Amino acid sequence: MSRVIESLRVLLGGEPKRVPKKDLPPEVRELHAHKFSDKERIAAIHAELAHKAQHKMPEKKRRLRWAVLIAVNMLFVVSYYFDIQLLEGALTASRFAGFHMADLNSALQVMLAFKHVVINLVIGTTTIFILWWLLGGRTFCSWVCPYHLVAEWAEMLHEKLRAKGLAMDIQFDRRSRTWIWLLFAVLALATGYTVFETISPTGILSRALIYGPGVALIWVAFLLLFEIFFSKRAWCRYACPIGLTYGVVGSTSSFTVHYHLPNCFHEGECRKVCLVPHVLDTVIKGRAVAMDVDIGADCTRCLRCVDACPTGALTFKYKGLGDLL
């Protein structure tokens, strides 16, 4: 339970805590001490990185994720255009084969705005809550959210421009996302209007795909340009209330990215590709508090770290069933 609480604290914007060495389990202290004094480890790291540079492997899990994300969003489009009534609505609120589904953040906004509980929203949010708790809350971000996909493509352009000195990466306080979540909750309650839905790039893109483009896409374009030239993945990292909501939901999920300390060379390849590198603080040499650690609630389960890790220290698993990907 203490690890879940710490995970939620970091999700809300806190910095990962460093546990004093004296409070670590003896076997963990011993392994950390060995790694700090192991001269062969450095040579092994360089050999691993050199091999990786010469034999660059495709990010198969990333491609699988993109395929799933596109397929889910296209199912909305196909259902609408061909009127097959399989998946009706949009990501904010929909119905799949008769089952109501409602984005948890959007449903909360509606309930706060109208100041009463709508039965269909209760059914829809219960369905979605169970789904994303089973899969791990922020899985929605990486595997379903259309803005995540276009922002990921924008990030690739950002990295190229930054390498040429044509873009910067301004860092913001991660607590801003929590304050923004609270701000939109108060606005919905005070105005009787779901203010966040008018600027949510997730909702805007979902509706644009299904029903056709609108003027709101100008806002999405502005966000992407800001991320390309000024702050990499700024919306997902520092602003999006949806990610925060699903992070809380998935904080106790059995699906998790799992870290195994003995396998780790601490070369940092995983943190280089991570959208939220603070969740991988445990991979920094001397930071792990146990031999095996589940990565925290802010993890989006994008699995890029699993692909990037050259030693298999990071895996995706379901507790009790073992490695899945």
pLDDT at 318: 81
Q: Is the pLDDT of residue 185 over 60?
A: yes
Q: Is the pLDDT of residue 119 over 90?
A: no
pLDDT at 191: 93
Q: Please report, rounded to a whole number, the percentage of residues in the chain having pLDDT higher than 90.
A: 56
Q: What is the pTM of this model?
A: 0.90
CA nearest 167: which of 229, 215, 115? 229
Residue 305 and residue 272 in contact, taking contact as beta carbons nearer than 8 Å = no
Q: Is the pLDDT of residue 120 over 80?
A: no
Q: Is the pLDDT of residue 112 over 70?
A: yes
pLDDT at 203: 94
For the segment 166-175, the average pLDDT, to the nearest whole number, is 94
Identify the residue with better confidence: 110 or 146.
146
Task: Give the angle subtended at the CA of 64 by the CAs of 11 and 238, to the nearest 5°.
Answer: 25
| Residue 8 CA, distance from chain mean position | 14
- Gap between the Cα atoms of 65 and 77, Å rounded: 19
pLDDT at 323: 58
Q: Is the pLDDT of residue 325 over 70?
A: no
pLDDT at 319: 72
Identify the residue with better confidence: 321 or 221.
221
Q: Is the pLDDT of residue 180 over 80?
A: yes
- Gap between the Cα atoms of 240 and 285, Å rounded: 31
- Gap between the Cα atoms of 89 and 93, Å rounded: 6
Determine the 3-state secondary structure of 27 from DSSP: helix
pLDDT at 240: 95
pLDDT at 111: 87
Q: pLDDT by residue (tens digit) across 129-141?
A: 888 888 887 899 9
The encoded tokens of residue 145 equal 């959210």
pLDDT at 242: 94
Q: Is the pLDDT of residue 78 over 70?
A: yes
Q: Is the pLDDT of residue 275 over 60?
A: yes
pLDDT at 164: 93
For the segment 195-202, the average pLDDT, to the nearest whole number, is 94
| Helices and strands per DSSP (H, E), number in the chain | 16, 7
CB atoms closer than 10 angstroms to residue 284: 15
Residue 297 and residue 138 in contact, taking contact as beta carbons nearer than 8 Å = yes
The encoded tokens of residue 34 equal 């060995």
- Gap between the Cα atoms of 99 and 8, Å rounded: 30
Element (H, E) at 144: none
CA nearest 270: which of 228, 308, 229, 318? 308
Residue 293 and residue 261 in contact, taking contact as beta carbons nearer than 8 Å = yes
Residue 236 and residue 268 in contact, taking contact as beta carbons nearer than 8 Å = no
For residue 280, the 8-state DSSP code is G
Q: Is the pLDDT of residue 284 over 80?
A: yes
CA nearest 149: which of 82, 231, 90, 236? 236
Q: Is the pLDDT of residue 320 over 80?
A: no
